Structure 1
C-alpha cells in the first residue's frame, strides 16, 4: 500500500437491521483527495447472499443509518460538502430523503422512539453571539470567555461550555405528503413565508435538556414514555470523571428536571452507555469504576451492569478484571438480552448477555468487530480483519463443537476492500509472543515486506496507553512495509485487552515495564528472524507512543532515527495546556515532583543522541503543540539532528481522520525521513533516488 491508496480505505459503520431481518444498511465512507474530505453513502446489504449489496443514497457524506421500529422509514445523517451533518429520513423502500433538522453546529447522533413518529437527536447548542449565531460576528470578534472550570475544552471540538451537547425531539414529517414549496414573487412579498422571512423547511424541534454539560447516548424506553441518557449532572462534577444515568419524559409536556437513576451502591462510576431491553423489564448500562476519588481512570475496564427498569438494585454482569466492554455501545438482543463488544488480546469479540447473568461469546477470532445489531432473529455485524478495512457479515447458527475458530459462524455479505487488495496489495501480519526481561509474555505482530532481506526494522508503539494494536488491517504498517520496512507492533504492559492488571502495571511507573516490554519484543523478533536487520533500526509512535519513543531514545542509543508524533512529552506543562491535563498526568505519573521528573521525557532530553522527527498538529488539544515545540527546540539546542513537521488545521486525530491531503503528506514526509536514515530499495535515500524525468 502506498500513500496514494488512502481513498481505497473504506470504513464501514455499525449496521442497522430491518425489523424483518432480511437486510441491513451501513454507511461506507472513504477519504477523497479531490474533495479533500471524507465522502460516502449508505449501502443496502441483503442477508440473502444471492442478492448483491447496492448503493442506497447518493449524498456527499451519508452516515449513521437507523431503521424506524416499524421498518417503514430509514433515518440517517447527511452532510453536504463543507457543511454540518443534519438528520434526514427516507422511505425504507427508497425515495427522496427529507431533512428534519437545521442545527447550526450539526447533529451528532439520534435515536428512534418506539412509535416511529418521533426522533430524539443530539446537537451542540451554541451560546447566542458565538459560532456564527450573529451575522458578521466571527470567531475573532466574539466576546471574551471567562473560564472557571477544569472542563472547558475538548480535542477536535474546541471550547465546550458555550456549546454543550443537548437533546432535542422532532416529529417525523409525513413522507407521503406533497413537499412544501417556498413562496416567491407576490406571496413572498406578502409575507407568506416564516416571520423572519426565512423558511428552512424542517419541522420545529423541542429541546429536552438544558444543563451546561454534554448529554450523550440517548435511547428511548420500550413504552416510549422516557428518553434515557448519560451526563455529569452531580455536584462537584467539574473535579471528577463521573457520569450517571438519567431519564426524562418524552411527551410534549414542558421540560422537567432529569430523574437520576444512577445506582448509589456501586461506588463512583463513569457511565458510558444505557439501553432498556425490548420487553421494557431491564435497564442495561456500561460503566467504569473510577474509585473513591472519582478520577482513578487508569486502565479501568468497562463492565456491563443490569437493573430493573422500574427501579431496584444493579448487578454487574461482566468481570472488569478480565473483560473490557469499551469497544462499542449496547444493542438489544431478543426480548431481554444485550449485545456488547469486548477488547480481547488484540481482537474485538461480540458477546451476548441475558438478565440472569448468562453470557455467550458469539464471535471470537482474529478480527475486530466494529458494530452489531439484531432484528428478526438475525445478527448482522461489521468487522475488520487482516484483509479488510471494513465489511459486513451475518452470524450463522452456532458452530459445530470442536471447531478451531469462529470463521464458520460468519457469512460475509460484502467485499468493500477488494480494490485495496487488488490495487494496493495487503501484507498479512504474523502474530508473535516474546518474553520480557522478567519473563512476562509480550504479544504483538510483525508485518514483513516482500523479499529476502535484510530489512530495516521500525518499532511502532501505539497510543493510549490503554489501547491496543490488533491483527486487523492497519494502514500505517501496510505503507511502511510496502516501502521495504519490517514493522513490529506489540501491546506492552499498560495496553488494553489483557486485563486490568496488565493495563495498570505502569500507573505511576511510566517508562519502566512498558519500555522493557517493547524492547524485549524487538529483541525477540531480531533473534527469531534472520532477515531483520538489527543494525538498521527505527522507532516511532504517536501520543503515548510518542512519549515512549522519546523516553526510549533517551535510554537506548541503537536506533538510527526516531519519529515522535503528538507526544505526551512534559507532564508539568501538560497539566495546564491539555484538555485532559487537569487529571491525566496526576493519575499516570503521580504528583510528587521528583516522581513526575523520573517519568518525564523532557527531563531526560539531554540524554538523546538519535536523529528525531517531531510531528504535531496546530489544533491538538489532547497533547498540545507546545509539547512538540519545546521538545524539538531542546533537541536543536543540544545539537541533536531534529526536524519539526507541524500541520495546520489538524488536531490529535490527524493520522486517523485528518484531511486526506494531510494524511497523504504525513505518510510521504515520514517515508522521506526514513529514506534519509534507513534507506531501502523501495524507499531510497535522496542521494540514491533516480532523477525526475
Structure 2
C-alpha cells in the first residue's frame, strides 16, 4: 500500500510550495503546506533549507544540513522575502502578542530576525497586507483599501461589518476573479522603511488607482527607488489593457514604461541586479483569427525600449544572473518545463536542464554559479534542487518533507494526427499491467486550454488512479504549450473538432498496447478538459464512462457569466455568433448516451455553477444515466481535504461501476 491507495493518507502528504534564497546565498526558505490538527484544513509554515544540504553519497553516510522549521502558528505564514540583512519578512494573520486581540484575522507583516528569536509584527493595515517586496531598507507592499478618507478606514470597515452590509456597488468590469468577489476595497501600494521595531514612515504610493492594481504583479528595483507594477487600463465595451508603469518611491510620480495596443505586459517580472533592464511577459490580445501568444520581453528601465526573446517559449518564471548578463527562465517544452538561459539581444534561448523534470521558483546564487529551484515532474513531487549554471547538472537538496513514492511506470507515447502533426503525452501504467493482465484505461484531458501536462498535480493526481489499477493517458493535443505557436494555432477557434481528432489519434496508439484493456475505457477532464469531456460525450460512444469537472457546457451562457467575459469574447466573437453554436457541447445533447458524472463547486467564478446546473438538468431531462457531485463551498479546484476525499472516492466508485462493471457502491464520504 502507498499513500495513493487511501485518499485520506494522500491528502495528509505535506507539500513544498515555494523557494527563496537569502541575499548572501547562505539560506533557502520554503513554505510547506500540511494538514492542520483538525484534519479539515491546510496550514502553511516556513522552513529553512541548506543550499548544500544533500543526502550523503557514500554508503552508510548520513545527510548534512537537515531542513528545520522556522515558524509555527495556527494561522500560517506566506509571502516570505528576505531583507538585505538576511532577516525574513512574511505575512500572517497570527495575533500580535504586543497588542490587544480584537479578533481581526487580516494578514499583517512580520519580521523574523536572522539570528533567531521570536517573530514580531512590523506593519498592519485594516484591509490586510498582500504581496511584499524589499530592497535595502525599503519595503513595498500591497493592501486592500476602501475608497474615501484613509484615516477612518478601520472605523468604516467595522461599521459596515456591524451593520451586516455585504453589498458591493460596481461601476466597472470585472466584478469577480477565480474564487473571490472584487470590492468594495481596491488594491493600492504602500511603502515604508525598516526600523528597529516597526516599518517606519509608511505611506501610500498609488492614491486613488481605481481598478488599475487589481491582481497586480510588481517588483522593486535593487536600489529601492522605483516600483515597477502592472497597471490595468480600462478600454471601451468592458475591455482592458495591462501596461507596466514605474512609480518613484520617493515622490509617487508615475510614468508608463511599457504600453502597446493589443497587448498586455505583466508577470513574471524581474529587474536586473544593475537596475537597468526588466524581464517580463508580453501577451497579445486574441481575436477570432489571432491565437494566444506569450513572449519573454526584455526592456530598458529608463526608456522602455526593448523586444521579444526566447522565441515560442511562454515564460513561467524568470531570474537574472547576478552580473545582469543573462536571464534564466522556465517554460513548457514537450511535456517538461526546463530551465533556459537567455542573453539579452543574443538570440535563441539555450536549454540548461536536460532531464524530464519541471522547474519553478528560480533563485540565482550571488556568485552566479548556481540556480536554485523547485524540481518536480509527473512522477516527482516538488522539492528543492540546485542546478549548475555552467553544466546544467542537477542535484536534489534535502527537502523539508520527503517526496511520496509512486508505484507504477511512466512512459512517453506519440501519435500522428490526421493533419500530420505529432501529438505526444505521458502514459502512467499501474504496477503489474501486462499482456496477461491488461489495465483498464483512462483518458485524462488537461485544462487551459493553453496548457500542458508536464508537472506534478496535487489536484489531478494520476498516481491515485494508477494505484487503483488504471492506466492513465495525459496527452497534449492542439492548444497545448511547449510545442511552438503552430500547435496553438491548430486549435484556435476549433476547440472541439480539432482537439478530439488529436485525442482520438493518441488514444488509438495507447489502446493498441497489449498491457491496456481496449474495452474497459473511460474519459475525464476538468475546466477545458471538462469541456472536452462534454464534447466527447456528444461526439463519441467509445468510452464506458465520462467524468466532467468544472466544465463548459453552453458556451454562450458561459462566456457571459464567467469572471473574464472580455477574454473569451475575443476568441468566440460577440454573443450569439456562429462560433458559439458550432463549438458548444450542449448542441449534441441528443447524441449523449455515455454515463456521466458531473462535478462542480458553487464558488467557481471562472466556470460558474450555472454550467453544471444546466448540464445536470439537460442530462436528467434526456434520461442519460448520470450523477452530480456538488460542492457548495469549493471553487474551480476542490481544495479542502475532506472534499478531496469525497471527490476521488466518488470518481473511483463511478468508474468502478461503469468501466470495471462492478456494482455501484455509494462512498462513505458522501453517504
TM-score (norm: length of structure 2): 0.87
2:280 corresponds, among 274, 277, 285, to 285
Assess if the C-alpha contact under 8 Å between 2:278 and 2:301 holds in 1.
yes
Deviation string, structure 1 residues 123-157 (Cα, Å, up to 9, x no partner): 22245799995436449942754444332211222
SS at match of 2:29: strand
Q: Which residue of 2 aligns with 1:180?
A: none
Q: Within the alignment, does 1:67 sit opposite 2:64 as a pair?
A: no
Q: Is the 8 A contact 1:79 1:85 kept in 2?
A: yes
1:402-430 deviations in Å (ceiling 9; x for gaps): xxxx5xx1121124563622xxx443421
Matched, 1:153 2:146: no
The Cα shift of 1:243 comes to 0.7
Tell me how far apart the structure 2 counterparts of residues 284 and 587 of structure 1 sit (CA, whole Å). 28
Q: 1:290 to 1:296 in 2, by over 3 A?
A: farther
1:245 is aligned to: 244
Match of 1:208 among 205, 210, 235: 205
- Contact persistence 2:534–2:548 (CA under 8 A): yes
Deviation at 1:511, TM superposition (A): 0.6
> For residues 140 and 411 of structure 2, what CA distance do their matches in structure 1 show?
45
Cα displacement string for residues 353-383 of structure 1 (whole angstroms, at most 9, x for unaligned residues): 3334364323232111021111322321112
Structure 2 partner of 1:299: 292
Cα deviation for residue 563 of structure 1 reads 0.9
Structure 1 position 236, deviation (Å): 1.5
The 1-side partners of 2:334 and 2:591 are apart by: 34
Residue 623 (str. 1) matches residue 613 (str. 2): no
Instruction: Give deviations 1:414-467, integer Å, cap 9, x for gaps.
Output: 24563622xxx4434211112223332111111112224332211111111001
Establish whether residue 362 from structure 1 lines up as the match of residue 355 from structure 2.
no
- Give the drift of 1:79: 3.9
Work out whether 1:229 is the aligned partner of 2:240. no
Residue 476 to residue 214, structure 1, CA distance change in 2 (3 Å): farther
Task: Indicate the residue corresponding to 1:380 in structure 2.
Answer: 372
Matching of residue 492 in structure 1 with residue 477 in structure 2: yes
CA deviations 1:631-669 (Å, max 9, x no partner) are: 110111011111111101111122xxx112211211111
> Aligned to 1:598, what secondary structure does the other structure show?
helix
Cα distance in 1 between the residues matched to 2:204 and 2:65 = 42
Separation in 1 of the partners of 2:596 and 2:276?
58
Which is worse superposed, 2-11 or 43-52?
2-11
In the alignment, the residues of structure 2 paired with residue 481 and residue 132 of structure 1 have an alpha-carbon distance, to the nearest angstrom, of 55
Residues 170-569 of structure 1: matches in 2 within 5 Å? Answer: 170-175=192-197, 205-209=202-206, 210-215=208-213, 216-233=216-233, 236=235, 239-251=238-250, 253=251, 255-256=252-253, 258-264=254-260, 268-290=263-285, 298-300=291-293, 302-311=294-303, 313-319=305-311, 322-325=312-315, 327-331=316-320, 333-357=322-346, 359-377=349-367, 378-396=370-388, 398-399=390-391, 409-416=393-400, 418=402, 420-421=404-405, 425-452=406-433, 453-470=437-454, 472=456, 476-527=461-512, 529-569=513-553
For residue 675 of structure 1, what is the aligned residue in structure 2? 656
- C-alpha deviation, 1:40, in angstroms: 2.6
Q: Residues 521, 139 of structure 1: CA spacing in aligned structure 2 closer, same or farther, 3 A cutoff?
A: farther
- Equivalent residue of 2:414, what SS? strand
- The 1:130–1:309 alpha-carbon spacing in structure 2 relative to 1, beyond 3 Å, is closer
- Cα distance in structure 2, aligned partners of 1:687 and 1:431: 34
| Farther-moved stretch of structure 1 (469-478 vs 625-634) | 469-478
Quote the Cα distance in structure 1 between the aligned partners of 2:480 and 2:194: 44
* Whole-angstrom distance in 1 between the partners of 2:41 and 2:8: 14
For residues 245 and 58 of structure 1, the distance between their equivalents in structure 2, rounded to whole angstroms, comes to: 37
Distance 1:569 1:483 in 2: 29
* 1:20 Cα deviation from its structure 2 partner: 2.4
Is the Cα–Cα contact under 8 Å of residues 119 and 170 in structure 1 kept in the other structure?
Answer: yes
C-alpha distance in structure 2 between counterparts of 1:75 and 1:332, whole Å: 23
**CA offset at residue 332 of structure 1?**
5.3
Q: 1:605 and 2:601 equivalent?
A: no
CA distance in structure 2 between the aligned counterparts of 1:173 and 1:43, rounded to whole angstroms: 25
Partner residue, 2:60: none
Displacement of 1:483: 1.3
CA gap of 1:143–1:548, structure 2 versus 1, over 3 A, is: closer
The answer as to whether partners of 1:298 and 1:588 remain within 8 angstroms in 2 is no
Structure 2 residue aligned with 1:632:
616
Look up the SS of the partner of 1:628 in the other structure: helix
Match among 143, 148, 160 for residue 123 of structure 1: 143
CA contact (8 A) 2:340 2:351 kept: yes
C-alpha contact (below 8 Å) 1:246/1:260 kept by paired residues? yes
Q: Distance in 2 between matches of 1:614 and 1:605?
A: 14
Report the CA distance shift for 1:290/1:397 in structure 2 as closer, same or farther (over 3 A): closer
Give yes or no for contact 1:121–1:218 (8 Å, CA) kept in 2.
no
Distance in structure 2 (CA, Å) of the matches to 1:330 and 1:397: 12
How much has 1:298 moved relative to structure 2? 4.0
How many correspondences in the alignment? 632
- Identify which range, 533-542 or 202-211, moves more after superposition: 202-211
Q: Which runs of 5+ in 1 are unaligned?
A: 176-200, 400-405
- Aligned with 1:19: secondary structure? coil
Q: Deviations over 1:612-633 (max 9, x none)?
A: 1110011111111010011110
Question: 1:542: Cα distance to partner?
Answer: 0.6
What is the TM-score of this pair, normalised by structure 1? 0.84
Q: Does 1:52 align with 2:66?
A: yes
For residues 26 and 510 of structure 1, the distance between their equivalents in structure 2, rounded to whole angstroms, comes to 39
Question: Is 2:91 the counterpart of 1:92?
Answer: no
